[in-house]
Amino acid sequence: MLILALDTSGQLGSMALARGANEPFSVLEQVSLAGRTYSARLIPELSSLLTRRHLQIQDLEAFAVVSGPGSFTGLRVGLSSVKALAEVLKRPITAISMLQAIAAQSGAKGRILAAFDAGRKEVYAGEYDLAGAEPKLVGESLLTRAEFLSLLAAGTAAELVTPDPALSDLASGRLRVKQVQWPGAGEIARLGLTRISTGQTVAVETLDANYIRRSDAEIFSSPR
């Protein structure tokens, strides 16, 4: 199965073509995407990627896309692009949480806490159980730094997995910490193929962003 994976959740995103499912998993190519150019560059970059691999758009058999949390604008661009492609090609989609992708890099077993900086002195945090082929969601939330420290102190997780050095330092001495690289689209593709092979797909009309954080319009608007 040839899958296109896409991450537009942050300031630096990526796109990857990968093969897997009934064959050994391999990333054919991964390319970086600059956050402020997602809307202008995403489709041209995809076209160039397919040309370099001597493929046609019709050769794509599935899509995996990061659904959040992250940039409101970036996520909307990525999700709407995947929706359009999947609708035209009639291909399956699976949505991947960036927190799940971070948790998957743990290598440990049991309850894992994945986290990364959310800005505004807040933290995106997700608790996952790692026992099978993919991390199983326990819960995701947006926490203040104080709430994050309380979660660390609660001891419900065996390990913190994060790409953020600041969070790694903050948790040091409180919980076992594994600092990892930011997951690229190749990792999203690997998780996506696992989910698609077990039927965990999302219909085009129901695919939506998992922002976790409310938008500024929701926060600052006055109630009627």
pLDDT of residue 11: 92
pLDDT of residue 20: 87
pLDDT of residue 93: 98
Q: Is 77 left (phi over 0), alpha (psi -120 to 50) or beta?
A: alpha
pLDDT of residue 22: 66
Domain map of the chain by residue range?
2-97+183-220, 106-179
CA atoms 186, 51, 56, 73: torsion sign: positive
Query: Quick one: CATH architecture of 2-97+183-220?
Result: 2-Layer Sandwich (3.30)
Fold of 106-179: Nucleotidyltransferase; domain 5 (3.30.420)
pLDDT of residue 220: 46
pLDDT of residue 217: 45
Cβ 124 vs Cβ 212: under 8 Å: yes
What does the alpha-carbon distance between residue 74 and residue 11 come to, in Å, rounded to a whole number?
8
The yes-or-no answer to whether 2-97+183-220 and 106-179 have a common fold is yes
pLDDT of residue 215: 53
What does the alpha-carbon distance between residue 72 and residue 68 come to, in Å, rounded to a whole number?
9
What does the alpha-carbon distance between residue 127 and residue 42 come to, in Å, rounded to a whole number?
31
Cβ 46 vs Cβ 56: under 8 Å: no
Digit-by-digit pLDDT tens for the chain (224 residues) are 999 999 999 999 999 999 987 678 999 999 999 888 899 999 999 999 999 999 999 999 999 999 999 999 999 999 999 999 999 999 999 999 999 999 999 988 899 999 999 999 999 999 999 987 789 999 999 999 999 999 999 989 999 999 999 999 999 999 999 999 999 999 999 999 999 999 999 999 999 999 998 654 444 445 55
